[in-house]
Structure 1
């Protein structure tokens, strides 16, 4: 992906009113442009003239897997704190500024990245850029705010523990990845959050949030050059306004993952249903077989017409919720099946799930299933781009996670190129590996 070269254009910093050099941009296609600032910060935009809104996001290539000993949950803790105030704005100022123009702000943390975003009317984009850049680059992390958010996060952890249908997925990841960083809980634990100090969070913030590992993305009715000028001005004089540096590329995918020994674990809770996840290691996000895995997932448990839904819910009424899913990371992934059922029906549900996984691993899917599985993938891709938030996310993930931006037509062609043989091969590779079973319920 081409970088930018410096031109003579300038923008004026709102912070110190000094002119700053604005780099030129490169076109990735007719509507998507990319600029790399001298600091290594990348800015990508997609102009969608027919829309009257803009989604603006700041993405950081840091997540729970990057946390060292004693930092469990620091990424998520920081996500909460960055909206709590800067030298220029209080927490109320930040939220009120965006809400006063009918916009919204939010953030989320994953195992591999964190995102802060706002969605506003196109005319209010300069305001959103200034507010979001200020929050992400210049948060003060005041001690009282740390204590307040510590309580909020502990309540969030407790809420997750009251939702076994969510908790069981965390337990399943812990079984697969063992001591690997991907096993870490995004929220952290009560034991890691309770003693975490303000200074420790601040050190994590300043050491991990650097321009080369960050991407700014915006989609909607906008002008790329103006977005770049506004971002440069908003970040001038902040810790993200640094000297010359090159962007950090996607995480390496060559590092082997040592999985834990296959096992089955039940976490006893007094629930009405038993919640189970059965599955094992999958493939990484940059594996060319990901399109075939997507088709396989749709055939097995991706919708109401899938094999698992038909066999377990429609024919036998054994569960209300049953589905298969994939989680993909830099060098590995997960393929799993979830079901929630009455405790007395667990054995029967597991028998059906195992039978369906074995059939998929040993037999070819039908032409009709292939057509339907590809159609679901293509429809989800295209329909998912109907709003500015999805378009903004596509830009950021392409840059941050893949180092490339495949256009929609190319993605559709790669999905359409999947054959029955491709699905058969990847099914055998993924579904015949070690098996991990996580259950939560009154067992």
Structure 2
């Protein structure tokens, strides 16, 4: 089945590669620093508009933890001239969708409309970007919802284990904070703190517009210039000063919770999104735990029966990044499972990947990447993210070629460079919800 999937991805990638990236991307930068990426496509009548800006966990102080998430959740709750209901009604009237998000390195507003509904959609979007009001009652409702989300996440043991891992791995670096924040920080937020954060980061030189679809780029760029071109450039605060020091020894943090399953996340330092090592680490991750045919899945789940759930992920960020293996296992098998993961990490550091395994992995990565760009929204998202976060929008075209160029020697070199000292976050069954042990190994 796996080989059939790989063959399918190969054929589809070849078919879509020309279609997906054939049209050129136009980049315009206004005098005030606002960036516009536009790509016309006539494959359908859909227009995807993504707006990205630098904000998120990396830009928050510890006292502001969760403020980006709260702000983004309130953007659609009203402007100077529109209520939340009017915003929703206008977008729905043209069959469109609008949503917001906050991540560790950025915030995002996503608009999806038809060609005929683009004018209406842009009017609403521009209003939100400039005139959001954050009514007191909506702020109170948003805080209550965010507190419920925090409580819900704590009940999700794998998610809680990832949070524990990141706290331990990042130490004092801003990424250590959960994206949703803490109950004590969220409770202190006011309308003023949300509005001040909005005015600080929603400035022209911090915005990247990314548009893909059936539209007249000259006309849309003209509209953006008329609406935003005269706004002044403003200084954007740098992320809180913090030094990230890669671990000089392995670290472990263990908490006890009421559970029938033991959960662990075992991770290492990894290259940032702008590093030359980025694509080689993508390949390494796919080999070790990125699919159901990966080594962790086959060796530790299929052959040894150690895992209920297992895999790996590589999280490339603007700042310090990480690669991590994760697993849910029976409590009595926890130590055996941990040693199993470490054994597989030792294997990837000590021997070259087989030619056929490398070929399958690169085909899989290339195919899934092309498929992720099949829609206008997918293309607009990746163009905007790469432009904002550092590699630049052209990296979308370079990525498949870079993956194809990765050798088995590259994978071995990357493994030996990054997979040195590990950080372990684990949640084990126990009566206590607060007992915690943190130690250096």
TM (norm. structure 2) is 0.87
Deviation for aligned residue 1:403: 5.2
Structure 2: tracts of 5 or more residues without a match:
1-20, 431-441
Matches within 5 A, 1:359-438: 359-402=347-390, 404-406=392-394, 408-432=396-420, 434-438=421-425
Three-state SS of the structure 2 residue aligned to 1:78 is: helix
* Structure 1 partner of 2:148: 155
* Structure 1 partner of 2:77: 84
1:242 paired to 2:231 = yes
* Structure 2 partner of 1:99: 92
Verify the 8 A CA contact 2:57 2:174 in the aligned structure 1: yes
* Structure 2 partner of 1:257: 244
Three-state SS of the structure 2 residue aligned to 1:123 is: coil
* Structure 2 partner of 1:314: 302
Alignment equivalent of 1:323, drawn from 311, 335, 341:
311
- Give the Cα–Cα distance (whole angstroms) in 1 for the partners of residues 77 and 367 of structure 2: 39
- Give the Cα–Cα distance (whole angstroms) in 2 for the partners of residues 403 and 130 of structure 1: 30
Verify the 8 A CA contact 2:173 2:243 in the aligned structure 1: no
Three-state SS of the structure 1 residue aligned to 2:188 is: coil
Verify the 8 A CA contact 2:366 2:400 in the aligned structure 1: yes
Distance 1:131 1:233, change over 3 A: farther
* Structure 2 partner of 1:75: 68
1:226 paired to 2:219 = yes
1:174 paired to 2:163 = no
Higher helix fraction (1 or 2):
2
Alignment equivalent of 1:270, drawn from 258, 270, 281:
258
Distance 1:329 1:36, change over 3 A: same
- Give the Cα–Cα distance (whole angstroms) in 2 for the partners of residues 65 and 43 of structure 1: 24
Three-state SS of the structure 2 residue aligned to 1:179 is: coil
Deviation for aligned residue 1:245: 7.2
Distance 1:158 1:395, change over 3 A: same
- Give the Cα–Cα distance (whole angstroms) in 2 for the partners of residues 152 and 55 of structure 1: 28
Deviation for aligned residue 1:270: 1.0
Distance 1:281 1:37, change over 3 A: same
Q: RCO (CA 8 Å, sep 6+): is it higher in 1 or 2?
A: 2
Verify the 8 A CA contact 1:130 1:230 in the aligned structure 2: no
Deviation for aligned residue 1:132: 1.5
Deviation digits for residues 370-416 of structure 1 (CA, Å, limit 9, x no counterpart): 11121121112111110111100122112111252226553222111
Work out the number of aligned pairs and report it. Answer: 406
Deviation for aligned residue 1:296: 0.7
Deviation for aligned residue 1:224: 1.0
Alignment equivalent of 1:285, drawn from 265, 273, 282:
273
* Structure 1 partner of 2:435: none
Three-state SS of the structure 1 residue aligned to 2:77 is: coil
Deviation for aligned residue 1:230: 2.8
Deviation digits for residues 346-390 of structure 1 (CA, Å, limit 9, x no counterpart): 122112111000111111111111111211211121111101111
- Give the Cα–Cα distance (whole angstroms) in 1 for the partners of residues 317 and 233 of structure 2: 30
Three-state SS of the structure 1 residue aligned to 2:86 is: helix
- Give the Cα–Cα distance (whole angstroms) in 2 for the partners of residues 233 and 171 of structure 1: 47
Deviation for aligned residue 1:30: 4.4
Three-state SS of the structure 1 residue aligned to 2:109 is: strand
Deviation for aligned residue 1:68: 2.3
Alignment equivalent of 2:25, drawn from 16, 24, 32:
32
* Structure 2 partner of 1:210: 203
1:185 paired to 2:178 = yes
Q: CA RMSD in A?
A: 2.1
1:441 paired to 2:428 = yes
